[in-house]
Amino acid sequence: MKIPVASLLPDEISGSLSLRHKYQGTQIFKWVQSGTLEFQNMTNLSKELRRTLYEKLYISSGLENTLTGSDGTVKLKIKLEDASFIEAVLLTDRNGRKTACLSVQAGCGMGCAFCRTGKMGLKRNLKSYEIVEQMLLLVSGYGRITNIVFMGMGEPLENLENLRRAVEIFHHPGGCGISFRKITVSTCGIVPKMYDMAENGPHTRIALSLITADPVLRSMLVPANRRYPLKETKDALLYYQKKTGKRITLEIVLLKGVNDRAEDMESLLKFIPPLKVVVNIIPWNPAEDIHFKEPSPSEVLRFKNRLVKAGVAVTERYRRGRGINGACGQLCVIDPALK
C-alpha cells in the first residue's frame, strides 16, 4: 500500500523508503512542502529514486475546483480519498502577506447557531496528511505562505493529535518553517484540550470564539458553553497565557440585535481582565438557512469604539471572500452523503 507523504518528517521519509542516504529524506521533504506534488519534477533526485517515490508514496487529496473572488481571495474545493469534500482558503492582504485558512474536520459537530459549517454536522476528523495537503495545494498554486489560521471547517481541538502533527510539519525549518506566532488555532472552547495544548504544545496563538460573555446567551449560540462554562474557559485561557506569554484573541461574531447590546458590552468588559487580549470583531456573514442579521458598518463601528474607549485592543476582520462563500462560517460543501 502506498504511504501518504504529506505529513511525514524527513527522517520518516528516509525510514519508510529505507533510503541509503538520510539527506535524501530532507530533499524529498523540501520538495513536497514547497508544493511540488509530482515526483517526476523533483529534479535533483535520480530517476530511479523518483520511480521509487512514485511506487511507494502518494498525495491523497485532489483539487476539485478553485473560486477566485474579486478581492483576490481564493477558495479551493478539495476532494478527499473517501470522496468527502473540504475547503481551504487563501487570503492575501494589501502588503502581499498570504494567510492560509485551513480545515481540520469534514463538517463540524459543535452546532454553533450562526455557523454554516455547524449546520452540516460532523462527518469525520481529517487525517494529519489531509490537513497538510490543503496547504500543499495552496503553496503549489500560489507560492509561499506566511501565516496559517485554523478557521476553516471544523473544531481544531476536537482533532488535536492530527492538528499537532500538521503544525509540526508546517513549523519544520526544512519545509515552510512557519513560526508558532504566525499560526492561530481558533476554538469554540474545548477546555481540557486547551490545557493539553498548554502542557504539550504546540504553542501557537489561540483564538477563542467567545461571541458573547453573557452565559445564558452564549449557551444558546455556542452549545459547547453548556459543557465548558465561561469561568472554566477563562481559567484555561489564563493558564495558556501564563505558559506561553501569548496574547489571546477573542472572536466576537457580531449578530445584529443579539450580541451587540449594552449588556453584552458590559459582560465582555468584565470577562477580559486580567487576560491580555485582542478582540477580533467579525461582522456576521450571512449563510443560507440561518436567520440572523448582519450589523451595518456603523453598528460595527459603534461596538468597536466602545471597546477602544475602554482601552481594549480591537481588530475588525476584513470581509474577504464573501462573494465566493469563502468568508468565515460560510465554508460548507454540500456533501451528498450528508443530505
Pick out residues in 188-217 that bind ligand SAH (CB under 6 A).
188, 209
Q: Is 253 in the site for ligand SAH (CB under 6 A)?
A: yes
User: Of these, 106, 198, 221, 282, which contacts ligand SAH (CB under 6 A)?
Assistant: 282
The answer to whether residues 297 and 126 touch, using CB atoms and an 8 Å cutoff, is: no
Q: Which does 170 bind (CB under 5 to 8 A by kind): ligand SAH, ligand SF4, none?
A: none
* Residue 233 in the binding site for ligand SAH (CB under 6 A): no
Which residues, listed in sequence order, are joined to residue 220 by a DSSP beta bridge? Answer: none
Asked whether the beta carbons of 188 and 167 are under 8 A apart, the reply is no
**Nearest to residue 157, comparing CAs of 192, 203, 198?**
192
Instruction: Determine, following the binding rule CB under 6 A, whether residue 114 of this chain makes contact with ligand SAH.
Output: yes
Residue from 28, 108, 131, 236 binding ligand SF4 (CB under 6 A): 108
176 in catalytic set: no
Residues linked to residue 263 through DSSP beta bridges, in sequence order: none
Which own/partner pairs from 77-80 qualify as long-range (CB within 8 Å, at least 24 positions apart)? Answer: 77/333, 78/133, 78/134, 78/137, 80/106, 80/126, 80/130
What is the number of helices (H) and of strands (E) in the chain? 12, 14
Q: Which grid cell sits at 151?
A: 478557521
> Taking the complex as a whole, how short is the minimal distance between the CB of residue 80 and ligand SAH, in angstroms?
18
Q: Are strands 248-254 and 205-209 parallel, antiparallel or unpaired?
A: parallel
Q: In a 3-state reduction of DSSP, which class is residue 102?
A: coil
251 binds ligand SAH (CB under 6 A): yes
**Residue indicated by cell numbers 470581509:** 319
Q: Residue 223's CB: how many other CB atoms inside 10 A?
A: 16
Nearest distance in Å: CB 151, ligand SAH: 4
> Out of ligand SF4, ligand SAH, none, which partner does residue 14 contact, by CB within 5 to 8 A per kind?
none
Give the one residue of 155, 214, 260, 264 binding ligand SAH; rule: CB under 6 A.
155
328 is a catalytic site residue: yes
- x/- contact string, 143-182, with ligand SF4 (CB under 6 A)? -----------xx---------------------------
Binding partner at 282 among ligand SF4, ligand SAH, none, C-beta below 5 to 8 Å by kind? ligand SAH
Q: Decide which of ligand SAH, ligand SF4, none touches 251; Cβ closer than 5 to 8 Å per partner kind.
A: ligand SAH
With left for phi above 0 and alpha for psi between -120 and 50, is residue 279 left, alpha or beta? beta
Rounded CA gap, 257 and 293, in Å? Answer: 8
Q: Is the peptide bond before 274 cis (omega within 30 degrees of 0)?
A: yes
Choice from 74, 76, 110, 191 touching ligand SF4 (CB under 6 A): 110
Count of residues engaged in binding ligand SAH, rule: CB under 6 A: 17
- Residue 285 binding target from ligand SF4, ligand SAH, none, CB below 5 to 8 Å by type: ligand SAH
100 binds ligand SAH (CB under 6 A): no
- Interacting span for ligand SAH (CB under 6 A) from 128-136, 139-147, 238-246, 282-290: 282-290
By CB under 6 A, name the one of 287, 300, 314, 332 that touches ligand SAH: 287
Does 184 engage in binding with ligand SAH (CB under 6 A)? no
Query: Exposed (0-12), middle (13-18) or buried (19+): which is 298, by Cβ within 10 Å?
Result: exposed
**What's the CA gap between 198 and 206, in Å, rounded?**
10
264 contact choice in ligand SAH, ligand SF4, none (CB below 5 to 8 Å, kind-dependent): none
Could you give phi then psi for residue 235, rounded to 5 degrees? -60, -40
Can you tell me the distance from the alpha carbon of 84 to that of 123, in angstroms, rounded to the nearest whole number? 8
Residues that bind ligand SF4 (CB under 6 A): 108, 110-112, 115, 117-118, 154-155, 188, 209
Residues that bind ligand SAH (CB under 6 A): 114-116, 151, 155, 186-188, 209, 251, 253, 282, 284-285, 287, 328-329
